[in-house]
Amino acid sequence: MSLLEHTPSAAQLRRTAYRRRQTVRSVLVAASSTAALGTLLVLAVTGAPGWDRVRESFLDPSIARDALPAVLAGLWLNVRLLVCCAAGALLLGLLIALLRTLRGPVFFPVRALAAGYTYTFRGLPLIIVLYVLTLGVPGLRLQGMPPVLVLGGLALVLTYGGYLAEVFRAGIESIHPSQLAAARSLGLTYRQTMRHVVLPQAVRRVAPPLLNDVVALQKDVGLVSLAGPIDAVRAAQIATAETFNYTPYILAGVLFVLLAIPLIAVTDWVTLRSARRQSGG
Amino acid sequence: MPVLTCRGLRKEFGGHMVLDGLDLTVDEHQVVALIGASGSGKSTLLRCVNLLEELDDGSIELDGEEISDPRVDPDLVRRRIGMVFQSYNLFPHLTVLENITLAPRRVHRRARAEADAQARELLDRVGLGAKADAYPDRLSGGQQQRVAIVRALANSPRLMLLDEVTSALDPELVGEVLTMIRDLKADGMTMVLATHEMGFAREVADQVCFLDGGRVVEAGPPAQVLGEPTQPRTRQFLSRIIEAGRL
């Protein structure tokens, strides 16, 4: 007998009705507690003695309108830097992770160098790397020195490359040795095994943490403004200094969140998909 | 000349001698079944022959060439040997067809169309033609293991090593894999198989080797080794198998 023709027993009907009542109840509880908390928050903030002054200095629509072009121009710099630095850091991270998996005495210096790199740049604060590269390196007055923006981007790539290398390495090491044995037994070389069997699986597995680091990078690219280039936050700072009003910061913050939402959504989607795939497999 | 000759193989893992002076000879078109308790060295022997493990002593010859010589390129040796594992070890990110054509395309540099056609033909022959574009996790254990055998065959190996290929399968799926191995024997494939399926070893093997303590304790035609074993340890092992209702 198919499921469709099945007539539920009285006990099953009682269970279904009970579960339905419980569902309705929990939805009602959730809705009313959210409404209560929201009302409390709004009352607490708008009822505060200093609310009017805070609203004027943080939420002034006309100042937001005036600052918008400059902040948007800064944000465009953030976006361009993000795309270039994310690509660079992903490539560098993958390269370093692969170098760390090389075996054999010939590769000892390469392995040691790669390990030293991930230790150094994961420990070193980004701001110090930025200062050294954007202020220290141009001080050498070498021929053909790249512009400060490129040096700042390089600092970001070096720092994030260290984190991403460890994520890639964790992915590579998570692939079961039996997969390597199967690939090698087919006559594939070590390099072919990495290229066709290990890396495709490893990258899929660590895609969520990789994207998470890219979301973090999105916020850190603005730090190049410490060396001169004007990003969204720096543009907001300039506008604030002109008007003695903090609204441009709020504006920049809102724009950053809007920019991050698509990336975070993609991260969540990839995470969900890989979780489903693993439980399915 | 034998296809495979193993002489005095020794392999130690963490103070435990897994292979302890093992000798084995496999002639062309011969099927050799390795039986013995877990830890008797069956899997290690197969992994050593495929150069997945480094020997501590002894030598292995494939078609008269010493492949245990460190100057031999192991990748070239493995192309001549097909190996099938207990847990299938299919590549989960590749379809059935891509699993099978990986080695022909990347190792033997065949054109894609040619490799695909060969793979589809092999799949059709074992009744898995409809699964060519499916991913391994959509297949039953028996189907996955049959794909793994096809994948090893796509290299046109000289010798097949089968490592307890039915041990991970549900009982009702064992038959389809054994049928495939029977067909391979009929085609004249030279095979070494480690197995717990005594009935199958009796039926398909030309020679049964009982391994214990890293050596071949008793070897001979299946009727003799499984029916009238001369060594006490063989008898002891077989009586336990009979107790468990597996013979």
Q: Do B50 and A188 touch (CB under 8 A)?
A: no
At residue A34, the pLDDT reads: 96
At residue A280, the pLDDT reads: 45
Q: A95-116 pLDDT, tens per residue?
A: 999 999 888 889 999 999 999 9
Do residues B180 and B194 make contact, with C-beta atoms less than 8 angstroms apart? no
The verdict on B69 and B187 lying in the same domain is yes
- Which residues 119-138 of B have a C-beta within 8 angstroms of A? 137
pLDDT of A1 higher than 70: no
Give which of B59, B243, B75, B246 is closest to B171, Cα–Cα: B246
Question: Any idea what the Cα angle at residue A10 is, between residues A1 and A4, rounded to 5°?
Answer: 25
Q: B115: pLDDT confidence band, cut at 50, 70 and 90?
A: very high
- Please, what is the end-to-end C-alpha distance for chain B in angstroms? 34
Whole-number percent of chain A with pLDDT over 70:
96
- Provide mean pLDDT across the span B113-131: 93
Please report whether residue B86 resides in a domain: no
Chain B contact set for A201 (CB, 8 A): 91-93
pLDDT of A226 higher than 90: no
Question: B99: Cβ–Cβ under 8 A, 6 or more apart, which residues?
Answer: B90, B91, B136, B147, B151
Q: DSSP readout, B170-182? A: -HHHHHHHHHHHH
Quote the tokens at residue A257: 């969140």
The verdict on B119 and B217 lying in the same domain is no
Domain residue spans of chain A:
81-221
Q: Do A185 and B151 touch (CB under 8 A)?
A: no
Query: Domain containing B41 — which CATH number?
Result: 3.40.50.300
- For residue B6, how many C-alpha atoms fall within 13 Å in the half-sphere facing its CB? 25
The verdict on B18 and B53 lying in the same domain is yes
Domain stops at, among B112, B131, B157? B157
Q: B170-208 pLDDT, tens per residue?
A: 888 888 999 999 999 999 999 999 998 888 899 899 999
pLDDT of A2 higher than 70: no
Q: Do A182 and B106 touch (CB under 8 A)?
A: no
| Alpha helices (H) in A47-174, listed in sequence order | 51-58, 61-101, 108-123, 126-131, 148-174
- Which residues 34-73 of B have a C-beta within 8 angstroms of A? 47, 50, 52
Please report whether residue B187 resides in a domain: yes
Ranking A110-124, A137-151, B93-107, B120-134 by mean pLDDT, the lowest is A137-151
Q: Do A187 and B155 touch (CB under 8 A)?
A: yes
Question: A44: Cβ–Cβ under 8 A, 6 or more apart, which residues?
Answer: none
Quote the tokens at residue B207: 């020679």
Domain stops at, among B137, B157, B177? B157
Do residues B102 and B147 make contact, with C-beta atoms less than 8 angstroms apart? no
pLDDT of A203 higher than 80: yes
The verdict on B177 and B109 lying in the same domain is no
Angstrom distance (rounded) from CA A199 to CA A10: 55
pLDDT of B245 higher than 80: no
At residue B80, the pLDDT reads: 93
Q: Do B85 and A178 touch (CB under 8 A)?
A: yes
The better pLDDT of the pair A268, A166 is held by: A166
Please report whether residue B85 resides in a domain: no
ipTM: 0.90
- Provide mean pLDDT across the span A40-56: 89
> Structurally, how many domains does chain B consist of?
2
Please report whether residue B130 resides in a domain: yes
CB pairs under 8 A between A and B: 62
At residue A139, the pLDDT reads: 83
Please report whether residue B24 resides in a domain: yes
Task: List residues of A whose CB lies inside 8 A of any B CB.
Answer: 178-179, 181-189, 192, 196-197, 200-201, 204, 280-281
The verdict on B213 and B126 lying in the same domain is no
Angstrom distance (rounded) from CA B117 to CA B106: 16
Host domain of residue B233: 4-80+159-243
Please report whether residue B202 resides in a domain: yes
Question: A25: Cβ–Cβ under 8 A, 6 or more apart, which residues?
Answer: none
In a mutational test of the A interface, the residue from B49, B73, B106 whose CB has the highest number of chain A CBs within 10 Å is B106
Q: Could you confirm whether domain A81-221 is CATH 3.40.630.40?
A: no
At residue B246, the pLDDT reads: 67
The verdict on B189 and B206 lying in the same domain is yes
Residue indicated by tokens 């001080």: A139
The better pLDDT of the pair A96, A263 is held by: A96
Q: A180: part of which helix (H) or strand (E)?
A: helix A177-185
Is B85 an 8 Å CB contact of chain A? yes
The verdict on B204 and B175 lying in the same domain is yes
At residue A281, the pLDDT reads: 41
Please report whether residue B66 resides in a domain: yes
